[in-house]
Amino acid sequence: MDVQADRSAGAAGSERPSKGELLIQSMQELLWERGYSGTTPAEVQRRAGAGQGSMYHFFQGKAGLALAAEIRMGEDLKTEVEQRFVDREQTLDRVQSYLAPDGVVTRGCRLGRLVQDEEVAGNPDLMKPIAETYAWIQDRLETMLTDGVERGELRPDTDVQALAVTILAIRQGAYTLARLADSDEPFRQATIGISQLMEAARPKR
Amino acid sequence: MDVQADRSAGAAGSERPSKGELLIQSMQELLWERGYSGTTPAEVQRRAGAGQGSMYHFFQGKAGLALAAEIRMGEDLKTEVEQRFVDREQTLDRVQSYLAPDGVVTRGCRLGRLVQDEEVAGNPDLMKPIAETYAWIQDRLETMLTDGVERGELRPDTDVQALAVTILAIRQGAYTLARLADSDEPFRQATIGISQLMEAARPKR
DNA sequence: GTCTATATGATGATAGAC
DNA sequence: GTCTATCATCATATAGAC
């Protein structure tokens, strides 16, 4: 089935949010809290204060609404990552900031958790915005690390692409461990682990 | 609901596997392929060549059978990790071996993926064997790294616990990235990333 | 022990009134 | 645009025969 996002469900920052907009926001919340399979259209509607009709008017079913919500989540995530980088100067600070828990880590990564969902993984339309967001983040990490190399904070022979993937993986994995331990301690531990290595690997001057 | 594993479904290495045993194996496969929510009792039965009656005779519903399968998967995983360590001498080799893809990484981590499943996360009985398995693996990683410190392959001031969590997180995260990219490339990249850091951080002699 | 038939409930989607 | 009523499907679990 070919899923399309929406039928002009309304802009994000409008005055009075349309039902379509409310539905997107509710779907965003529920995807994060319960994943895709675990979220029922009925509950999205209830949370948005909308009926069945509104949802099927704006979106082509559950998948279409989820797609719109995913795209929104990807934008939010990119904005947050960017913010963490511009607020810091030093490379190690930026890495630590990227790995810092944001208070709701036991809920999992809003996008990463969807990858583990069978219904999402089996639907290319639903995977695409997730893959694109991660590609963007990986690219952003690479740029940030290249910056560090140029400023002499990382060794000149650093494989920035590999390191970017490593840091990305650490954050994703820490989410899983945090959920398992019901604590954000794994985030702190993993940050210590990678920081200690990066410190020790620092170029001598 | 208090879930118990089984009703003596049969030992693992018996001659003629009982229906209970076949059901456990089928559930193991399906949990890995589709997760918990995505697996229906009907399909487990079909794959095991057993009827409804057999399943409900040996186990208390879907959750009970899944619990038995999880325990088995945990044992398998621990055995595999142990094998990778005893086959190698050097610390970095062991770390790389732990992070090596095993050919089916795009399917995800057989246990880790369950953590993202709402029905599993919401059932303490189903989370317990997963948490215990990860605790064992983390402990095993710590022992392995402590070994490396003692042999002078890692700096004496290494925070082995933090590094163990970091490596554990890398593997978990790489599974997510691999699934997203439909490739085991993230495993290779992440291995390069952590290896390069560990090399550079090596104690001087 | 193992099977089939059936009950019960929830899910995602549609129809059609307002 | 938005609503409620209804549908078809499929999920898990139970009952009871063999």
Task: Please write the tens of the pLDDT for every residue from A34-81.
Answer: 999 999 999 999 999 999 999 999 999 999 999 999 999 999 999 999
Residues 6+ apart with CB under 8 A from B51: B45
Footprint of strand D on the protein (CB under 7 A): A 18-20, 49-54, 56-58; B 39-42, 52-53, 56, 61-63
Question: Is the CB of A81 inside 8 Å of chain B's CB atoms?
Answer: no
The predicted pLDDT at position B15 comes to 62
Could you write out the DSSP letters of every residue in A146-180? Answer: HHHHHTTSS-TT--HHHHHHHHHHHHHHHHHHHHH
Residues 6+ apart with CB under 8 A from B40: none
User: What is the architecture, at CATH level 2, of domain A69-200?
Assistant: Orthogonal Bundle (1.10)
Are residues A196 and B115, on separate chains, in Cβ contact within 8 Å? no
Question: Is the CB of B194 inside 8 Å of chain A's CB atoms?
Answer: yes
Strand, coil or helix: what is A100? coil
In whole angstroms, give the CA distance from residue B120 to residue A34.
Answer: 11
Give counts: helices (H), strands (E), chain B.
Answer: 10, 0
In this prediction, residue A181 has a pLDDT band, given cuts at 50, 70 and 90, of very high
A 8-67: CB under 8 A from B: 34-35, 37-38
In whole angstroms, give the CA distance from residue B74 to residue B137.
Answer: 10
Question: Whose CA is nearest the C1' atom of nucleotide C5?
Answer: B52
Please give the residue of chain A at the shortest CA–CA distance from B163.
Answer: A193
Are residues B159 and A193, on separate chains, in Cβ contact within 8 Å? yes
The predicted pLDDT at position B18 comes to 86
Q: Which superfamily is assigned to B70-200 in CATH?
A: Tetracycline Repressor, domain 2 (1.10.357.10)
- Closest-approach nucleotide to residue B53, Cα vs C1': C2
- From chain A, the residues in CB contact with B37 under 8 A are 37-38, 118
- From chain B, the residues in CB contact with A121 under 8 A are 179
Predicted TM-score of the model (pTM) = 0.95
In this prediction, residue A16 has a pLDDT band, given cuts at 50, 70 and 90, of confident
* Positions of chain C reached by protein Cβ under 7 A: 1-5, 10-17
Assess contact for B26 and B64: CB atoms under 8 A.
no
- pLDDT tens, A113-125? 999 999 999 999 9
In whole angstroms, give the CA distance from residue A175 to residue B167.
Answer: 14
- pLDDT tens, B46-87? 999 999 999 999 999 999 999 999 999 999 999 999 999 999
Domain boundaries, chain A: 69-200
- pLDDT tens, B127-181? 999 999 999 999 999 999 999 999 999 999 999 999 999 999 999 999 999 999 9
Question: Is the CB of B113 inside 8 Å of chain A's CB atoms?
Answer: yes
